[in-house]
């Protein structure tokens, strides 16, 4: 069973749009997920623009990958390294801590995640 950053059962991030590496609503990951899609976030316009400028367009739909395209306010399982980059640039989106996989801690400091908790 997957755990969140507190060692508790991982909660669902979002089903509309359907998120997660496995498109099951959870920020679960495995050894084939090189992006480590483990941080449940609420995206913002600033973050979406930052990501697009840095080579990862999360706005434009990509139907062949079951990717609907995101808009501000959507929840999404984000790559831990991308969240860290956004954090360092001052535009990290808010985090749903209970839905963020403990695997994110391989790339991100728990204190940083908590400082961006969606309260």
Determine the Cα–Cα distance for residues 16 and 91; give it in Å rounded to an integer. 23
pLDDT at 119 over 80: yes
Whether omega before 24 lies within 30 degrees of 0, making that bond cis, reads no
Determine the Cα–Cα distance for residues 58 and 50; give it in Å rounded to an integer. 10
CATH number of 1-119: 3.30.1280.10, 3.40.50.1980, 3.30.56.110, 1.20.120.790? 3.30.56.110
For the chain, the structural domain boundaries read 1-119
Residue 65 binned pLDDT confidence (cut-offs 50, 70, 90): confident
| Tokens, residue 23 | 């498109």
Whole-prediction pTM: 0.95
pLDDT of residue 66: 77
Determine the Cα–Cα distance for residues 80 and 44; give it in Å rounded to an integer. 16
Q: What is the 3-state secondary structure (H, E, C) of 12-76?
A: CCCECCECCCCCCCCCCCCCCCCCCEEEEEECCHHHHHHHHHCCCCCCCCEHHHCECCCCCCCEE
Dihedral sign of CA atoms 70, 71, 76, 79 in order: positive
Q: 68-106, pLDDT tens digit by residue? A: 899 999 999 999 999 999 999 999 999 999 999 999 999
The percent of residues above 70 in pLDDT, for the chain, comes to 100
């Amino acid at each position: 069973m997957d755990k969140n950053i507190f060692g508790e059962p991982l909660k669902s991030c979002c089903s509309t749009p359907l998120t997660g590496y496995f498109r099951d609503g959870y920020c679960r990951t495995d050894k084939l997920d090189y992006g480590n899609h483990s941080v449940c976030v609420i995206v913002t316009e600033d973050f979406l623009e930052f990501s697009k400028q840095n080579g990862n367009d999360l706005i434009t739909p990509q139907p062949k990958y079951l990717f609907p395209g995101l808009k501000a306010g959507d929840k999404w399982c984000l790559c831990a390294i991308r969240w860290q980059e956004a954090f360092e640039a001052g535009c990290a989106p808010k985090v749903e801590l209970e839905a963020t996989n403990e695997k994110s801690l391989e790339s991100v400091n728990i204190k940083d995640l908590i400082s961006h908790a969606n309260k």
